[in-house]
Amino acid sequence: MTLLTLDPRTGKRVRSYPLHRPTQIESALVQSERAGARWAAEKITQRIRLIKAVGAELRRQGDHLGALITLEMGKPITESKAEVAKCAGCCDYYAHYGRKFLEPETPPGAPAGASVQFDPLGTVLAIMPWNFPLWQAFRAAIPAVLAGNTVLLKHASNVTGCALAIESLFTRAGAPRGVFQTLRVGSDAIAGLLADRRVHGVTLTGSTGAGKKVAAAAGEALKPCVFELGGSDPYLVFDDADLDLAAETCAQARLVNTGQSCVAAKRFIVQKSVLAEFEEKFVARMRARRQGDPTDPATELGPMAREDLRDELHRQVTRSVRAGARLLTGGQLPKGMGYYYPATVLTGVKPGMPAYDDELFGPAAAIISVRDEVLALKVANDSPFGLGSAVFTRSPARARRIVNGLQSGTVAVNEPVRSDVALPFGGVKESGYGRELGAWGARSFVNVKTVRWSH
């Protein structure tokens, strides 16, 4: 069996890669275990030196890596290059602050002679998605490696070239053999890897369904987990909002990565008194995004990553229209090569429609009209997901009320939701648990060890 990559612009084959054989998987586990003992014993200055070198290698190969992301999953090239730069920034951040995050601490009120230290766990299995093929892997791997762990990457099959490029980056940066390895395996290998005593934790970014399966396997093996799963982020637009700002921000947040982001804006909950004006401004901005060849720097909206993803999005849109939603723009499958889908806006969205109940993973927006603030908050929380959310209002008091009531891991006020390397990132409910990035990411896979000295 092989892993196949396709060009989303054309649907044509890019390359196929043979799956790792059981003997190769065993070899990777042996190497990871051997490297783990040595890497855990390394001084943190050595780990920081590696992370700096990885960041430098990312910048050196920025154009090549950006082009590879675009080739394998169709991201517009300007966004692909920005993703590579964000990964380099992640390396810079942990190289600068990592020592502080992992220094032993004496908690307030602790007895004399007691302290807490943060020891590495061992090997972390990182199961990563295709939509941000470098960033998702780096935001998991860099803090794990900083803490003294080794990493095995199981990436999405349609970005296998990116997965191997990441391994090459670590090698070129001087990583000891076994510290970071890419496994060319399918999802059917995950349960066996988690059951193996040489794997000590798992981090997964992906769908809620995948997260539940991996959580069950990890629970059976008693392995710690960090999960960042699906999202159906609500953006709440109130009658006192700057509607030009709201419309522009909402369009930008809905179409980032051609709408294929767990933390992209998806549901737009708009107070009825400004609904018509918001719809006009929002639709104009959605239509204005230039769709085309993702290798063209002027392109803002590329193809979707896979044909099955586009087909599923179109089914969700079509079923929502049949159930009573109205199309304001888009919603038609284009002819020709590639997995393109137009910027689409649905309004009149209600419970029972896929656009209300499910995650729309592509460039389609759902507008939901509400009467007042109380109902807006109720609708926003009426979702199994809780990853990100945003509020648009000129009133600080109203913003505080809504922020405190929203059930999500991140809330943005008058700006889009986005991850920042210094801040914890993750969700609640079916959007997962645990946190990545910042100090929280550095301590996701450590043994928090209490040490007491007698007097």
Q: What is the pLDDT averaged over residues 119-143?
A: 98
Q: Encode pLDDT of 390-422 as tens digits.
A: 999 999 999 999 999 999 999 999 999 999 999
Within-domain flag for 123: yes
Please indicate, yes or no, if residue 420 is contained in any of the structural domains.
Answer: no
Q: Of these residues, 79, 225, 262, 430, which one is catalytic?
A: 262
Task: Return the exposure string of 233-257: e unless at least 16 CB atoms fall within 10 Å of the residue's CB, then b.
Answer: bbbbbbbebebeebbbbbbbbbbbb
Whether residues 435 and 399 share a domain: the answer is: no
d(CA 171, CA 33): 17
Residue 419 located in a structural domain: no
Inside any domain, residue 279: yes
Q: Which of 375, 328, 321 is nearest to 349 (CA)?
A: 321
Q: Do 237 and 223 reside in the same domain of the chain? A: no
**Do 204 and 331 have their domain in common?**
no
Neighbours of 112 (CB within 10 A): 8
Residues 438 and 385 in one domain: no
Tell me, yes or no, whether 342 and 215 share the same domain: no
pLDDT surpasses 80 at 455: no
**267 and 168 within one domain:** no
CA dihedral 352, 355, 359, 364 (to 10 degrees): 170
Residue 424 included in any domain: no
Domain that holds residue 18: 2-229+429-452
Catalytic residue among 33, 167, 228, 373: 228
Question: What total of structural domains would you count in the chain?
Answer: 2
Residue matched to tokens 């990563």: 128
Interval 202-218: pLDDT, tens: 999 999 999 999 999 99
What is the CATH classification number for the domain harbouring 297? 3.40.309.10
User: Can you name the residues that pair with 346 across neighbouring β-strands?
Assistant: 327, 366
Phi-psi region of 133 (alpha: psi -120 to 50; beta: other; left: phi over 0): alpha
204/327 same-domain check: no
For residues 188 and 336, state if they share a domain: no
Taking the model in full, what pTM does it have? 0.96
**Residues 164, 245 within the same domain:** no
Dig out the tokens for 7 from the structure.
Answer: 């060009």
pLDDT digits (tens, 9 = 90+) for 432-447: 999 999 999 999 999 9
Q: Is residue 423 part of a domain?
A: no
Q: Based on the domain organization, do 20 and 47 belong to the same domain?
A: yes
Per-residue pLDDT reduced to its tens digit, 16-45: 999 999 999 999 999 999 999 999 999 999
Q: What is the pLDDT of residue 454?
A: 86
Tell me if 422 is assigned to some domain. no
For residue 170, give the CATH number of its domain.
Answer: 3.40.605.10
Residue 418 within any structural domain of the chain: no
Rounded mean pLDDT, 261-287: 97
Same domain, yes or no, for 213 and 251? no
Residues 303 and 214 in one domain: no
How many residues can be counted in the chain?
Answer: 455
Per the structure block, which two tokens stand in for 334?
Answer: 């284009």
How far apart (Å, rounded) are the C-alpha atoms in residues 447 and 184? Answer: 29
Instruction: Tell me how crowded residue 142 is: count the other CB atoms within 10 A of its CB.
Output: 27
Residue 103's pLDDT band (boundaries 50, 70, 90)? very high
Residue 1 has pLDDT above 90, yes or no: no
- What was the pLDDT predicted at 14? 96
Whether 228 sits among the annotated catalytic residues: the reply is yes
SS (H, E, C) the chain: CEEEEEECCCCEEEEEEECCCHHHHHHHHHHHHHHHHHHHHCCHHHHHHHHHHHHHHHHHCHHHHHHHHHHHHCCCHHHHHHHHHHHHHHHHHHHHHHHHHHCCECCCCCCCCEEEEEEECCEEEEECCCCCCCHHHHHHHHHHHHCCCEEEEECCHHHHHHHHHHHHHHHHCCCCCCCEEEECCCHHHHHHHHHCCCCCEEEEECCHHHHHHHHHHHHHHCCCEEEECCCCEEEEECCCCCHHHHHHHHHHHHHHHHHCCCCCEEEEEEEHHHHHHHHHHHHHHHHHCCECCCCCCCCCECCCCCHHHHHHHHHHHHHHHHCCCEEEECCCCCCCCCCCCCCEEEECCCCCCHHHHCCCCCCEEEEEEECCHHHHHHHHHCCCCCCEEEEECCCHHHHHHHHHHCCCCEEEECCCCCCCCCCCECCCHHHEECCECHHHHHCCCEEEEEEECCC
Average pLDDT over the chain reads 97
Q: What is the pLDDT of residue 205?
A: 97
Nearest-angstrom CA–CA distance, 6 and 13: 4
